[in-house]
Amino acid sequence: MTGEPLRVVLGVGGGIAAYKAALLLRLFTESGHDVTVVPTASALRFVGAPTWEALSGKPVSTDVWSDVPAVPHVRIGKQADLVVVAPATADLLARAAAGLADDLLTTTLLTAHCPVVFAPAMHTEMWDHPATQANVATLTSRGAHLVPPASGRLTGEDTGPGRLPEPEEIFAVCRRLLSLPDSRSHQFSGAGAAEIDNNVSPEAGKPLAGRRVVVSAGGTREPLDPVRYLGNRSSGKQGYALAHVAAARGASVTLVSANTSLATPDGVEIVPVGTALELQEAVTQAAKDADVVVMAAAVADFRPRSYADAKIKKTYQDPAEADASPDESAPTIELVRNPDILAGLVEARGAADRPVIVGFAAETGDETGTVLELARAKLARKGCDLLVANEVGRDKGFGTEGNTVHLLFRDGLPGAPRDRSAGPAPKVEIAAEVWNGVQAILDPR
């Protein structure tokens, strides 16, 4: 690292996950950053001031009355190159969204003109509550960056969304923001803002205001009988992140959601569907007056030709028969192809340039080609404007909190940036990069 160390403020909220913030602090200091820890009074009940002071090499305070002549409640935020709050509790998110300034951390948030990152951590019920979701939407609409909570073990015996992301994941987001052009002057500028993984650039305001957006998410299920179906492992998290970021950027968003258990993003209209045919009908209808359609759902390629009205039973041989052998018979399921919804949208658009159509390609790679080779062939075959390719597998893509994707743009598309990759990164950051590409198409320079 060359030059002066970058100044990082680590805000610590009053949650049990505060101990993980000590690991995040170590990642910053070992990378050569100058870190000031600003905990809340509640945070010090979980991790004491001596720990923060020993790891940062600086004194720690929670109120605005310490070292008054240095005016810390203004100075710390104004001098920062990055502010990251981890854990960001439900109470802290609410106070930040309301613009309250009742301790050193909230005053720092009000005076900061640099990138601000929130890493929420709380119980699932608190994270899913409409008030928390509204506060998150407010903060991201103002330019804050969000590292979504992970799913897993919480305090006690509870499990679910709300777990603080791992320090390495939070650090990766912060590292990208600290590498921004002009980050030392505390602003995003020009093309640099469009090239980084940000949710809402402060100068951009509401870049999708007045735009109608349709996003599909989740995985379709094709019924075999009343209890069984053909499906896939899609959780819908990437599609929901795309809808969330679009709404935060001012778009009117319709989310066609197939078989997910996720909370509806604030300000988004949701249309629940089950099968590929239902998804096709809903997306086709919503796309009629849309500016952008993003097909992030994992649509089943095939469905059973016929549906069994009753549960399909196993068959058994009579064990009393002398020549009885194990019954290994199984029914034969005849499949038919589902419609190609993405290609249908492109065909219906014809020679027009709207809506902008974005496809997703979940690929594993095989003997016929790599993930990128298969994705480029799919882009040429489908004719969409942007294809987002991601490698999936048993431990990749589906159901995880992060993603790595390749953005491939249609040849000759006005305003389209160069093909590029994004990640590994949280899915909300991937969504931001996708929308950066779409905005370049919508408003070519």
- In terms of average pLDDT, the best of 86-90, 155-159, 180-184 is 86-90
DSSP state letters, 172-232: HHHHHHHTSTTGGGT---HHHHHTS--S--TTTSSTTTT-EEEEEEEB--EESSSS-EE--
Q: Where are the domains of the chain?
A: 7-194, 212-301+334-442
Would you state the pLDDT for residue 310? 93
- Could you give the residue numbers annotated as active site? 232
Q: Do domains 7-194 and 212-301+334-442 have the same CATH topology?
A: yes
CATH superfamily of 212-301+334-442: CoaB-like (3.40.50.10300)
Confidence of residue 378 (pLDDT cuts 50, 70, 90): very high
Choice among 292-296, 393-397, 400-404 with the minimum mean pLDDT: 393-397
pTM to 2 decimals?
0.60
Question: Is it true that domain 7-194 has CATH number 3.40.50.1950?
Answer: yes
The answer to which of 84-93, 250-259, 264-273, 320-329 has the lowest mean pLDDT is: 320-329
Which pLDDT score is estimated for 66? 66
Q: What is the number of alpha carbons within 13 Å of residue 17 lying toward its C-beta?
A: 27
| 196 has a pLDDT exceeding 50 | no
Report pLDDT digits (tens) over 10-36. 999 999 999 999 999 999 999 899 999
DSSP character string of 17-76? THHHHHHHHHHHHHTT-EEEEEE-TTGGGTS-HHHHHHHHSS---SSSSTTGGG-HHHHH
User: What is each CA distance from 184 to 4, 144, 303, 341, 427, in whole angstroms?
Assistant: 10, 17, 55, 46, 26
Q: Which residues of 108-129 are buried (b: 16+ CB within 10 A; e: fewer)?
A: bbebbebbbbbbbbbbbebbbe
pLDDT at 199 over 60: no
